[in-house]
């Protein structure tokens, strides 16, 4: 019998909690409907900070600092190398990791995670890297045998759905005696090469995108979760086995659904989405805040599933995607307040050096998207 070895966590002592690293990525300005030539309302300052116009007082900007800021010129490769690649080696030694893309619909989450065939995102690059790390270990003949597998699921309306076997219903999430979180009925497909991954992942992810246009932009309302597992086994006594998990998550849009005026069933969905995202924000806040704060993992499906791979001894990165156009202003503002390590009001007009939009310094306000309220500065 293989014996499970827990790494980085002692059964006796309290769990170490590690911070969630927060990166912010600003996508390029691309508003084709910008008839008023408003220009962007967000811009980068350096490799950790950005600023956004303060709509209450256009002679001020709000400056935010993060662990990393990826400006609009940042390539897919740079995002991967700086924010994701460093954590991947840990999953070969039985540790867990998670990467998730957060932010409003249209701000670049899917571009960051999935990308295109010309500009592949975090997911294909991470899977390729895991294969290359495993190959390198195998070449060293270190006495371990490695196996890589994938699962792909969606959390929609607080239901867990298997994207590799779409006929299954809501799957239950369980915890074993070693505090590993698992989904017993979930399809797990062994991968022997990167092209294997392509074969299984692409049709499933296309399914999801096609369905989304028919079903009220489902992709912006559900969390898509790819799990890559590396199991390594030592042959010969004492028969150790270690399992490392990597979660790659394209989260539901963080926009405030109350403001966009959804009704009926959509409102129910919004509530469920808000529960998972709201709980995620509380979990990340608790992990990054004062030590000893209770982490409310059990309050939603998403955080329950990620419990063993977010905080604790796991390595976690959140990439918050934001868009520079005015029509995203309030959702950008909310997302930045969640992601920021620090925030500062600075007395200088946003467009001081830009000659294109001189009206912006004259108390111009961004258009609100409907109602008002909680997301105001
Ligand atoms: P989300 O998944 O957050 O709703 P998408 O990833 O679909 O957003 O991005 C919205 C649009 O912006 C898409 O057309 C996408 O190709 C484009 N886009 C997003 N980020 C970038 C980027 N960094 N560079 C170029 N285009 C981008
Ligand atoms: Mg998307």
> 57-105 pLDDT, tens per residue?
878 999 999 999 999 999 999 999 999 999 999 999 999 999 999 999 9
DSSP class of 9: -
332 pocket-lining for ligand 1 (C-beta < 6 Å): no
121 pocket-lining for ligand 1 (C-beta < 6 Å): no
Is ipTM beyond 0.95? yes
- Write the residue with the smallest CA distance to atom 16 of ligand 1: 111
Q: Quick check: 354 pLDDT over 60?
A: no
Q: Quick check: 206 pLDDT over 90?
A: no
Measured from the Cα of 113, ligand 1's closest atom is: 6
Cβ-Cβ contacts under 8 Å for 310 (sequence gap 6 or more):
20, 98, 283, 284, 287, 297, 303, 316
pLDDT band at 370 (very low <50, low <70, confident <90, very high): very low
Is the pTM higher than 0.95? no
304 pocket-lining for ligand 1 (C-beta < 6 Å): no
Percentage of the chain surpassing pLDDT 70?
77
- Lowest pLDDT segment from 19-23, 70-74, 151-155, 205-209: 205-209
CA 339 to chain CA mean position, Å: 12
Ligand index nearest the alpha carbon of residue 106: 1
Buried b (16+ CB within 10 A) or exposed e, 128-156: ebbbebbeebeeeeeebebebebbbbbbb
223 pocket-lining for ligand 1 (C-beta < 6 Å): no
108 pocket-lining for ligand 1 (C-beta < 6 Å): yes
Q: Quick check: 276 pLDDT over 70?
A: yes
pLDDT at res. 70: 97
Reported as a single tens digit per residue, the pLDDT across 98-150 is 999 999 999 999 999 999 989 999 999 999 999 999 999 999 988 899 999 99
Cβ-Cβ contacts under 8 Å for 229 (sequence gap 6 or more):
148, 149, 150, 151, 188, 243, 244, 245, 246
289 pocket-lining for ligand 1 (C-beta < 6 Å): no
Q: Which residue has the higher pLDDT, 226 or 375?
A: 226
Q: Quick check: 264 pLDDT over 80?
A: no
pLDDT band at 345 (very low <50, low <70, confident <90, very high): confident
Q: Quick check: 351 pLDDT over 80?
A: no
Between CA 309 and CA 313 the distance in angstroms is: 8
pLDDT at res. 259: 54
pLDDT at res. 352: 44
203 pocket-lining for ligand 1 (C-beta < 6 Å): no
Reported as a single tens digit per residue, the pLDDT across 183-201 is 999 999 999 999 999 999 9
- Lowest pLDDT segment from 36-50, 122-136, 215-229: 215-229
Q: How far is the CA of 46 from the centre of ligand 1 (A)?
A: 22
- Write the residue with the smallest CA distance to atom 10 of ligand 1: 106
């Amino acid at each position: 019998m293989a014996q499970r070895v827990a790494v980085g966590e002692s059964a006796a002592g309290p769990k170490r909690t590690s911070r969630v690293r927060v990166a912010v990525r600003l996508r390029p300005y691309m508003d084709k409907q910008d008839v008023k030539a408003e220009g962007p309302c967000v811009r980068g300052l350096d490799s950790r900070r950005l600023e956004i116009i303060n709509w209450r007082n256009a002679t001020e900007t709000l400056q935010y600092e993060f662990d990393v800021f990826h400006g609009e010129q940042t390539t897919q490769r740079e995002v991967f190398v700086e924010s994701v690649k460093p954590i991947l080696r840990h999953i070969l030694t039985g540790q867990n990791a998670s990467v998730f893309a957060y932010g409003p619909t249209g701000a670049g989450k899917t571009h960051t995670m999935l990308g295109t065939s010309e500009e592949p995102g975090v997911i294909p690059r991470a899977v390729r890297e895991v294969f290359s790390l495993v190959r390198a270990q195998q070449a060293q003949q270190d006495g371990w045998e490695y196996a890589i597998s994938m699962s792909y699921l969606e959390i929609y309306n607080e239901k867990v759905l298997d994207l590799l076997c779409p006929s299954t219903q809501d799957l239950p999430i369980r915890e074993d005696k070693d505090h590993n979180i698992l989904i017993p009925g979930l399809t797990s497909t062994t991968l022997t090469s990167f092209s294997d991954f392509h074969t299984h992942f692409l049709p499933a992810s296309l399914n999801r995108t096609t369905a989304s246009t028919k079903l009220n932009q489902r992709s912006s309302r559900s969390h898509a979760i790819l799990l890559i597992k590396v199991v390594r086994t030592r042959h010969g006594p004492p028969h150790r086995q270690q399992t490392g998990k990597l979660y790659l998550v394209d989260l539901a849009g963080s926009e405030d659904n109350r403001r966009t005026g959804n009704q009926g069933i959509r409102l129910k969905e919004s509530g469920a989405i808000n529960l998972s995202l709201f709980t995620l924000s509380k979990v990340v806040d608790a992990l990054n805040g004062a030590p000893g704060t209770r982490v409310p993992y059990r309050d939603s499906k998403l955080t329950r599933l990620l419990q063993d791979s977010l905080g604790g001894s796991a390595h976690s990165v959140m990439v918050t995607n934001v868009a520079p156009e005015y029509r995203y202003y309030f959702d950008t503002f909310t997302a930045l307040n969640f992601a920021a390590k620090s925030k500062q009001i600075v007395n200088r007009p946003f467009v001081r050096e830009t000659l294109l939009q001189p009206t912006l310094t004259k108390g111009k306000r961004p258009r609100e998207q409907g109602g008002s309220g909680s997301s105001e500065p």
